[in-house]
Chain A
Amino acid sequence: MSALLEFRGVTKRFGGLTANHNITFDVAENEIVSVIGPNGAGKSTLFKMISSFLPTTSGEIRFQGERISNLKPHTVARKGVVRTFQETTIFKSMTVRESVIVAQHLRATASLAGYFWGSKAARADVQAFGEYADELIDFLGLSNIRNELASNLPQGHLRALGVAIGLATDPKILLLDEPFAGMNHDETMSMVHLVRKVRDDRRVTILLVEHDMSAVMSISDRIVVLNFGEMIAEGTPAEIQANERVIEAYLGSEDDAIGV
């Protein structure tokens, strides 16, 4: 397996604080990789650097051999690296279907002026956007809420909507920001199922950042552990569960936290 996404000595400093120090690992095609760590470990910072919402201080992130760090978010998305957000970041006053349609921006073949005049390509696009939106909505099991306003949706549906918006861009790799946070066991399990389905049926590689250990253990092919901005471990769920340094980082709470 060739590496799809490569981290090479990625470092981020905010003034005197080092949020990420010399992070190096790979994500292979069609893998589900999780980045975990206690609060303040630098997970979110790393996540923002992949999608170029933050510049790196040194080191670089490569996608298919091309540098994607220190660009603009929309340029990174254009290359096929798309992030989702936590549930508060949505298009509040759009319906589910409208959100998924607008998110197909990168699939557009007509120009903005073409849409204004209603050119042939634009009309074909509008048709295709609608059909693809319906397909995605059905795929993610959101059919019964497709015309609901996003602001009226409960948390679980918002997460799924976030995934739908991400998938609408036709990504090669989808970055999920804490997809299981604040969910109960059943919700977590259905989200785990959904993420697997995205990888298996849509062939989208997944990199996720997460707190919830049990979900991470069941979903991940590989796990990367951060602590105080340092990468302290990398391996399969079984290897991570047995890792001394990881147990230490989670400070003796190995029973619940690591889900042993």
Chain B
Amino acid sequence: MSVAGESRSTGMRHGINRRTLVGVAVFLLAVFVVIPLLIAASGRTDFYYTLTSVALLSIASAGVWLMFYIGRINIGQGAFALIGAYVSAILVTKAGMSFWLSLPIAGVFAAGVAVLIGLPILRLKGVYFAMISLVLTQVVTLAALALPITNGAKGITSIPLPGEVSILGLTLIPDFATMENSRLAFYYTACVLMVLTFAAMYRLVNSRLGHICRSMQQNEELASSIGINIAYIRVIVFAISSFLGGIGGAMFGAIAQSVYPSSFQVADSINFMLNCFLGGLGYVFGPMLGTLVLYFGWDLLFESGKYQLLIYASLLIFLMLVLPNGLLSIRLDRLRRTHR
């Protein structure tokens, strides 16, 4: 990363000002009101599914982004998404648990696996960690094929839709199966989770843990010499990253109502990483924009038929050459210029 991209993250530390608040309000309004209205008006309800996917993928990408923040390239997020999807699916179908309870359990389980795997592999740096993490997705896929509880290649299908949540007779979340439009319900659920995730990420990055992560990204030796237990912080960050992967995966399973060993593949893991690159590694909200652009970009290029992948890949290479700090670097540079 160049100096320009990193100096921005210091600029973001100045607390929440009015412009930020307006920005957040506009964003929330767009996500929860304007987009559903537009979709209802245009009748393109398929966009619900697309945007729900973007929201969920951006949650998993946020985890990968956090790993970049401590200087680790994580190409294994697909593994944790798959673990999350299976844990939730098994709890719902075999134990009859409510999906809403299985969701956090899926995240925590993925985080637990990350702690066990992370203790040995997080000692590796750079390309070595990246290679090992790349293998993880394949390992989990193979495990899902082999284990009896995951039902092999047939996967787990006919997962019931999320049920009702009520406290003292008051319905908080209605039963998705009885809804006319469960797509809209999933869209709202995914967006709420996404907003919560990125609010927490913003808070984390601007709190002491974020500062410690940055110090480790820049120099692990110096960080350990000032008393930071770098091994511990690495494991914590990997666990948070995998928790987000597990949540994203579990939600995907619930929407598709099925999980297969191929639900998340190595290519998905690579996409999670690309989302972060494209949005900008220096920006907390980078993964959100990156996921949106990458997902829609791929879909828009569908018209180009057999040249889809070629154009897509060339565009990605071009973008990384022109904007090494990600798409958000354009916006913030312009803002900075006008405010000085």
> Interface on A for B, CB 8 Å cutoff?
51, 53, 72-74, 77-78, 82-85, 89-95, 98-99, 101-103, 105-106, 108, 110, 112, 115-116, 118, 122, 125-126, 149, 151, 165-166, 168-169
Contact = CB atoms under 8 A, between A and B. Distances in A.
Contacts of B10: 93-95, 98, 149
A51 B222 CA distance: 11
Contacts of B6: 92-93
B218 A94 contact: yes
A66 B207 CA distance: 34
B336 to A, nearest CB: 15
A105 B218 contact: no
Contacts of B1: 93
B222 A74 contact: no
Interface in B201-215: 203-204, 207-209, 211-212, 214-215
B224 A74 contact: yes
Given A83-B225, A116-B203, A149-B10, 19 more contacts: A72-B224, A72-B229, A73-B224, A74-B224, A77-B226, A82-B227, A84-B225, A85-B221, A92-B219, A93-B6, A94-B214, A98-B10, A99-B215, A102-B226, A105-B212, A112-B208, A126-B208, A149-B7, A165-B226
24 contacts: A51-B225, A77-B225, A77-B227, A82-B227, A89-B222, A92-B6, A92-B218, A92-B219, A93-B1, A93-B6, A93-B7, A93-B10, A93-B218, A94-B10, A94-B214, A94-B215, A95-B10, A106-B226, A116-B209, A118-B207, A122-B208, A149-B7, A151-B3, A165-B222
A168 B226 CA distance: 8
A166 B227 CA distance: 10
A105 B228 CA distance: 7
B319 interface: no
What 8 A-B pairs come out closest when comparing CB atoms? A93-B6, A115-B208, A77-B227, A73-B224, A106-B227, A115-B207, A103-B226, A91-B218
Contacts of B208: 108, 110, 112, 115, 122, 125-126
Contacts of A77: 224-227
Contacts of A73: 221, 224-225
Interface string B219-239: 101101111111100001000
A106 B203 CA distance: 22
Contacts of A82: 225-227
Given A82-B226, A95-B10, A169-B226, A102 B211 contact: yes
A215 to B, nearest CB: 23
Contacts of A149: 3, 7, 10
A149 B204 CA distance: 22
B14 to A, nearest CB: 12
A105 B227 contact: yes
Contact of B219 (A91, A118, A122): A91
Q: Considering residues A89, A102, A108, which has the most beta carbons from chain B within 10 angstroms of its beta carbon?
A: A102
A48 to B, nearest CB: 10
A165 B219 CA distance: 13
A115 B209 contact: yes
Contacts of A95: 10
Contacts of A91: 214-215, 218-219, 222
A174 B204 CA distance: 32
A34 B144 CA distance: 60
A71 to B, nearest CB: 11
A91 B219 CA distance: 6
B224 to A, nearest CB: 4
A78 B225 contact: no
A84 B215 CA distance: 15
B227 A169 contact: yes
Contacts of B203: 116
A216 B1 CA distance: 39
Nearest to A95: B10
